[in-house]
Structure 1
């Protein structure tokens, strides 16, 4: 069985995060969205300046999943003002758990999720929360399996299109 290593990123890892973000977001959402919406979102979300700025934000934490010297996924979590919405000091947002399609079903997402929980506990957070597209059944099932419950909804903009994200949270022990 292949083993994976999860490492915290540094600012020098921006190109790896950028490439992983573009590849995994495209693999997951391209077939369900227009090419124009995808291009706009990818340019806004994964341009060099934005990725570097996010990596340098002390309230955002990135982790890369490695299979030997191959990056296969990453995690982005936010606390404090870096959170996209709630900005509750007692919470940690899981903004992204992105895994290459070639590695779906290999427990990489679970390892990244476990890292998110470890980070939340080390930061003494009471709960973790996230937004997930209501049509992303694979992700919804993953989060429900891990004890998340829906508590609200919000609009996620992909290009000029509006989509509904379910907001889910898990209270930590």
Structure 2
């Protein structure tokens, strides 16, 4: 079993779009209307939006490969790229998704460890992320890794307002 992490760049734009749509659909399509899913996917993962995000120097994307097959990705933000005002001492994990067939192989933990390593290298004091209040598997996963709920914010899935819990881990 080999696990590899590669940073994404603009040449990866279409691959990033494909895995973003695939993993988001796998994770949320059962709990959301087709109309709201379509609206969100078009807004969040169109090529112009992803190109803008990839070009932002305060955001980075990484692919994770399992036995040389693309299995998932993570997006991290610092400074003004963070989706909430969390200050200069924070690193945000905005997206972390693993294809369903690769779950339960520890890849989410590998990607989170990459984010923690990046935060530590940049002298950040905490790492944070938003998790949908109904995503019980993800909430349990983050709690096991030492994240605690420190707030909540609205997340719009199409025209439906949902609640994301803000989970934070203080770094040593």
TM-score interval for Structure 1 and Structure 2 normalised by the shorter chain: over 0.9
Residues 81 and 87 (structure 1 numbering): CA distance in 2 closer, same or farther, change over 3 Å? Answer: farther
Deviation per residue, 1:114-169 (Å, 9 max, x gap):
11101111111010011100100110011000000111111110000011111110
Equivalent in the alignment of 1:51: 50
Residues matched between the structures, number: 172
SS at match of 2:124: coil
Contact 2:130 2:166 in 1 (8 A): yes
Q: Distance in 2 between matches of 1:163 and 1:130?
A: 15
Equivalent in the alignment of 2:128: 129
Q: Distance in 2 between matches of 1:74 and 1:169?
A: 20
Equivalent in the alignment of 2:118: 119
SS at match of 1:110: helix
How far apart are 1:67 and its partner, in Å?
2.4
Alignment of 1:28-47 (within 5 A): 28-47=27-46
How far apart are 1:68 and its partner, in Å?
3.9
Equivalent in the alignment of 1:165: 164
Q: Distance in 2 between matches of 1:14 and 1:121?
A: 28
Contact 1:79 1:87 in 2 (8 A): no
Equivalent in the alignment of 1:76: 75
Q: Structure 1 stretches of 5 or more lacking a match?
A: none
SS at match of 1:20: helix
SS at match of 1:138: helix
SS at match of 1:102: helix
Q: Structure 2 stretches of 5 or more lacking a match?
A: none
Q: Does 1:8 align with 2:7?
A: yes
Q: Distance in 1 between matches of 2:153 and 2:76?
A: 18
Contact 1:66 1:73 in 2 (8 A): yes
Computed over aligned residues only, the root mean square deviation of the Cα atoms, in angstroms, reads 0.9
How far apart are 1:107 and its partner, in Å?
0.8
Q: Distance in 2 between matches of 1:69 and 1:150?
A: 35
Deviation per residue, 1:28-76 (Å, 9 max, x gap):
0000000000000000000000111101100001110012442110000
Q: Does 1:147 align with 2:155?
A: no
